């Protein structure tokens, strides 16, 4: 009778938009006690937009946006897509770019005309001994306290300003976190983004354990460390950066709206990319397991 019970469970799952990787998944859902949530694209929509363009004192906001938008044109990162879109919306054509280089988890570098441009986390610029001045630091602190992400820009070794980008917390995220807690799971937020922005988002949805400023390759280590602490970990993610962590987790849950790599690395796929369904998926497969036994 067990195969039938399993099919009923997965059939109902399919109705809800949950794809189950295999029967072992049901057992994992029973044991998990911790759920790690990727911030961008999972708790938030991932639909970034430019919120503010702040040139350094005496600088020109239009030039800052034009050069930054051009430099980011070669990047697939949601932050880069937002900045390039803002630039083409405002100026149409953007200046030509050469020597584009991705710096995963940090930003990009490129030549825009004659300028050697860096765009990314303030830490990326700091590696080149470029720092924000007091005015830009103040603008940065205010934006990050609001849960926004600050991208710093320099060219030719001189800081030129910051571009503030933001996405929205998904309307269902707070309710989803509540339901995950009701299932006895402890929620953890994981992100490469800065600590202040991560904590603002976490507070907004009711999460108190935050791992921020985690480099893409280190996300898997956060999952391993939790497991070494004796926790049984579900991980929910959507991005290329999340694939190793999804595979390492005891239960990997991919947002169906995310990348194929993330989906392949996972046990469960949520077709609609809604975190509420993650709670439904865990509840449903626990119930299915009870039917089977
Ligand atoms: P997340 O974990 O939120 O998906 P990533 O690991 O991709 O983030 O990136 C971490 C941080 O590095 C971003 O929040 C951003 O500050 C910076 N960053 C990465 N790529 C870019 C880029 N192309 N342009 C600007 N900033 C970037
Ligand atoms: Mg992400």
Q: Give the pLDDT confidence score for residue 22 in this predicted structure.
A: 72
Residues with CB under 6 A from ligand 1: 39-40, 72, 75, 77, 79-80, 105-108, 119-121, 149, 151, 191-193, 216, 239, 241
Tens digits of residue pLDDT in 136-177: 999 999 999 989 999 999 999 999 999 999 999 999 999 999
- Let me know whether 174 and 271 are in one domain: yes
CATH code of residue 82: 3.40.1110.10
Closest-lying ligand to the alpha carbon of 237?
2
Evaluate if residue 17 carries a pLDDT over 80: no
Q: CA end-to-end span of the chain, whole Å?
A: 10
What is the rounded CA–CA span in Å between residue 240 and residue 219?
11
Residue 207 and residue 153 share a domain:
no
Q: What is the pLDDT of residue 5?
A: 46
Does 187 share its domain with 250?
yes
Whether 65 and 208 map to the same domain: the answer is no
Whether residue 213 is found in the same domain as residue 200: yes
CATH classification at residue 251: 3.40.50.1000
Same domain, 79 and 36: no
Q: Whose CA is nearest to atom 9 of ligand 1?
A: 105
Beta carbons of 242 and 217 less than 8 angstroms apart = no
Please count the structural domains in the chain: 2
Residues 242 and 134 in one domain: no
DSSP string, 123-160: HHHHTTT----HHHHHHHHHHHHTT-EEEEEEETTEEE
- Residue pair 137/157 in contact by the 8 Å Cβ criterion: no
Contacts of 19 (CB under 8 A, 6+ apart): 13, 256, 268, 269, 271
* Cα 150 to ligand 1 centroid, rounded to whole Å: 10
> What are residue 115's phi and psi, to 5 degrees?
-90, 135
Instruction: Write the pLDDT tens digit of every residue in 242-278.
Output: 889 999 999 999 887 777 888 888 888 887 878 998 8
Instruction: Note the pLDDT tens digit of each residue in 55-87.
Output: 999 999 999 999 999 999 999 888 999 999 999
Point out the domain boundary residue: 135, 166, 197: 166
Q: Give the number of other Cβ atoms within 10 Å of residue 205's Cβ.
A: 22
Q: How far is the CA of 79 from the centre of ligand 1 (A)?
A: 7
Tokens of 292: 């089977």
Are residues 186 and 278 both part of a single domain?
yes
Domain span at 229: 2-45+169-292
- Expressed in angstroms and rounded, the spacing between residue 59 Cα and the centre of ligand 2 is 32
Which of 98, 133, 166 is where one domain is finished? 166
Q: Is 193 annotated as catalytic?
A: no
Indicate whether 141 and 180 sit together in one domain.
Answer: no
| Domain end among 136, 166, 196 | 166
């Amino acid at each position: 009778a067990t195969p039938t019970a399993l099919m009923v469970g997965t059939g109902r799952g399919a109705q809800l938009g949950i794809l189950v990787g295999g029967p072992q998944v049901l057992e994992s859902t029973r044991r998990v006690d911790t759920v790690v949530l990727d911030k961008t694209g999972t708790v938030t929509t991932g639909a970034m937009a430019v919120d503010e363009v702040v040139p350094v004192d005496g600088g020109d906001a239009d030039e800052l946006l034009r050069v930054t938008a051009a430099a980011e044109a070669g990047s697939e990162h949601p932050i880069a897509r937002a900045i390039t879109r803002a630039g083409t919306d405002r100026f149409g054509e953007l200046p030509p770019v050469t020597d584009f280089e991705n710096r995963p988890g940090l930003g990009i570098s490129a030549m825009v005309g004659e300028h050697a441009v860096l765009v990314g986390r303030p830490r990326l610029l700091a590696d080149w001994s470029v720092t924000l001045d007091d005015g830009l630091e103040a603008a940065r602190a205010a934006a990050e306290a609001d849960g926004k992400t600050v991208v710093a820009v320099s060219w030719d070794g001189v800081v030129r300003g910051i571009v503030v980008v933001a996405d929205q917390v998904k309307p269902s995220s707070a309710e989803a976190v509540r339901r995950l807690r009701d299932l006895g799971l402890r929620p953890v937020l994981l992100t490469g983004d800065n600590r202040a922005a991560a904590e603002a988002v976490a507070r907004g949805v009711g999460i108190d354990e935050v791992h921020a400023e985690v480099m893409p390759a280190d996300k898997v280590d956060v999952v391993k460390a939790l497991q070494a602490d004796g926790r049984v970990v579900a991980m929910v993610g959507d991005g290329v950066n999340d694939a190793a962590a999804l595979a390492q987790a005891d239960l990997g849950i991919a947002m169906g709206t995310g990348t194929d790599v993330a989906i392949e690395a996972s046990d469960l796929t949520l077709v609609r990319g809604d975190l509420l369904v993650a709670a439904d998926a865990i509840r449903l497969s626990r119930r299915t397991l009870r039917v089977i036994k």
